[in-house]
Chain A
Amino acid sequence: MKRVDWTTLPFRVLGWMVLVFLAAPMLVVFPVSVTPNRWISLPSGGISFSHYAAVFGSPDWLSAIGQSVVIATATMVVAVAIGTATAITAWRMAGHWIIPALRVLVLLPLIVPTVVSALGMYRVWVDFGIFDSWAGIIIAHTILATPFVFLTVSASLTNTDRRIEQASRTLGAGAFRTAWAVLVPAARPGILAGAVFAFITSWDEIVVTMFVTARHIFTLPRMIFEEIHDNLDPAVAAVSAMMMLVTVAVAAVLLWRDLRGTPAASEKP
């Protein structure tokens, strides 16, 4: 019979309680999304998927979902390209006096309160004529997402032997080929993690979105916000539940591929 370890039991109980405490507000959307009532409530007297059907039957919801997918994907692609290139450059030039300055510059969007960035972007986007446009929202989200890619790729490169770059050069590859064939694969785990972060950053971004969009661009988080504001339709809970599932699925697929792609270090002969 397994004996209970009394000394660590309180800590384990506490740990699970903290986890439940953190996850509960998120998980509550799942029961709410299947309520048979027409207002936001926990299900009473059976469950119903009518709110899911309502979401898929609504052109407004579908358009918002479509826009968010397009914007988040574009943001992910651009942020990964810029963040990876910057991180590789910073890694290559490590020790140069300009690198600490560059790091601060790249991480600035994380440091500055989002509402301040949002206000600045609103002003400038109007002047540039990209207010409430696809380009405007994608650029805005890319600015917010790039620091995550930079951080994750930099972390991946920290343990990379600097000499592999030199080795590639002596074997006949120029600087670009070396970056593509040797450094990008070395940074792969960081690039994948950064891509997930970038996608999610855009996918649930609301503050900047509110400032730089009006009628033309209507992302999913903005739609949820406005819906909650105007009426208490449980469709919001259905959308939230789906958003969460999509987010978890994207992260799980990428992380799983990443784990599978790395051979275990213990496989030595």
Chain B
Amino acid sequence: MTAHALSLRGLTKRYQGTVAIDDLTLDVAAGEFLTLLGPSGSGKTTVLMAIAGFVQPTSGDILLDGRPITRLPPEAREFGVVFQGYALFPHMTVAENVAYPLRVRRVPPAERATRVRETLELVQLGHLADRRPAQLSGGQQQRVALARALVFRPNLLLLDEPLSALDKSLRTELQIELKRLHGRIGTTFVNVTHDQEEAITMSDRIAIMRGGRLMQMGSPAELFERPGSRFVAGFLGRSNFLNARVTATGNAVTLDCLGVPLHQARAPGWSPVVGDAAMLALRPNKIMVLAEGEDAPNVVSGRITTALYAGTVMQLVVETPIHPALEVSLAIRGAEGLPAEGDSLRLGWGLNAAVPVAPDAAA
């Protein structure tokens, strides 16, 4: 199956006065698994509906392999869509649901039956072909929707919150299955979700959206390790945000954070000037608890105000001079000597632990 590339060029959608999509430009490579991730109201579903052909953009273009498809009706785009809630046809059996796109395309009955069977095998539902959607579990319905969207070999597969209606364990299972399916069939996938875990585990790349705009796009690791803005750092995983001022620039940058000197390695795309304000995002898992006499490039002392035991980690909230409630997550290695509320401790982190982020002009 040949995969196709999708491009959005300055895509904008306005509804009387409000902007749902604001000048969005992005490219999805052929065969890629791209996730649009954002909180509700970020415009991610509107983008997906524009790609599917249900929302006519106010301006901008949608290109498939470089050809504009902006004005094509949904039925002419040949995009498979897995809808939120699956939108299965309740009066048809599983096999009839999956056969529907082939029937519409006048595929001869013999070939139709073969392809329906193959596609149902692909999603492991061959044995349920004669059931009605109402007789299936949520996970099974999701797979029927997937089979129906893939059986006609679409140019692109669009997924609108495909796992949001399922419970947690099933969700994790289907995440892995979707990822595997993507690898097997090689079609370009565009997924929409508000679930960061789902985005991180399934996607080749993630586009983070907010208020109709693209905030940052990159591989899950890139976005996690090098968030460009406070919003991205806070939305993808948890972060402590430190307000500081640059006091010296050399090999490492020195900053002053409420009287405490911090040291930070230079980062690409960061050109600190002495006297400028800077914001550092520091992940809770990058902070270490220092033993007696141990040193680190950055050291602060503090007192634990909250200690939560979470099995593999301890979630600590520490009152420090640089932040009144610094979150620290500490890997648990043994049951002995666990920190407790009220304990005083020294915390340290390396030169590369924190990431300078833009402090979000458009908050």
Residues of A within 8 A of B (CB): 161, 163-164, 166-174, 177, 181-182, 185-186, 188, 263, 265, 267-269
Task: Contacts A166-B87, A167-B87, A186-B91 given; indicate if A172 touches B135 (C-beta within 8 A).
Answer: no
How big is chain B's contact interface, by range? Answer: 20 to 34
Closest 3 CB pairs of A and B: A163-B87, A171-B101, A167-B87
**Across the interface, do A182 and B89 meet the contact criterion of CB distance under 8 Å?**
yes
Nearest Cβ on chain A to B120's Cβ, whole angstroms: 16
Task: Contacts A166-B54, A166-B83 given; indicate if A171 touches B100 (C-beta within 8 A).
Answer: yes
Residue among A163, A170, A172, A263 facing the most chain B CB atoms (10 A cut-off): A170
**Across the interface, do B74 and A166 meet the contact criterion of CB distance under 8 Å?**
yes
Question: Cβ of B28 < 8 Å from any Cβ of A?
Answer: no
**Across the interface, do A169 and B75 meet the contact criterion of CB distance under 8 Å?**
yes
Q: List the A side residues contacting B244 at CB < 8 Å.
A: none
Q: List the B side residues contacting A182 at CB < 8 Å.
A: 89
State the CA gap A167–B54 with chains docked (Å): 11
Q: List the A side residues contacting B363 at CB < 8 Å.
A: none
Partner of B101, one of A166, A172, A188: A172
Q: List the B side residues contacting A169 at CB < 8 Å.
A: 53-54, 73-75
**Across the interface, do B81 and A167 meet the contact criterion of CB distance under 8 Å?**
yes
Partner of A268, one of B79, B92, B135, B152: B135
CB-contacts of B64-114 with A (<8 A): 73-75, 77-81, 83-85, 87-92, 100-101, 104-105
Partner of B87, one of A164, A177, A188: A164
Nearest Cβ on chain A to B70's Cβ, whole angstroms: 16
Question: Cβ of B221 < 8 Å from any Cβ of A?
Answer: no
**Across the interface, do B134 and A263 meet the contact criterion of CB distance under 8 Å?**
yes
Task: Contacts A263-B135, A268-B135 given; indicate if A172 touches B105 (C-beta within 8 A).
Answer: yes
State the CA gap A168–B77 with chains docked (Å): 13
Task: Contacts A169-B74, A170-B81 given; indicate if A265 touches B134 (C-beta within 8 A).
Answer: yes
**Across the interface, do A267 and B84 meet the contact criterion of CB distance under 8 Å?**
no
Q: List the B side residues contacting A170 at CB < 8 Å.
A: 52-53, 74-75, 77, 79-81, 149, 158
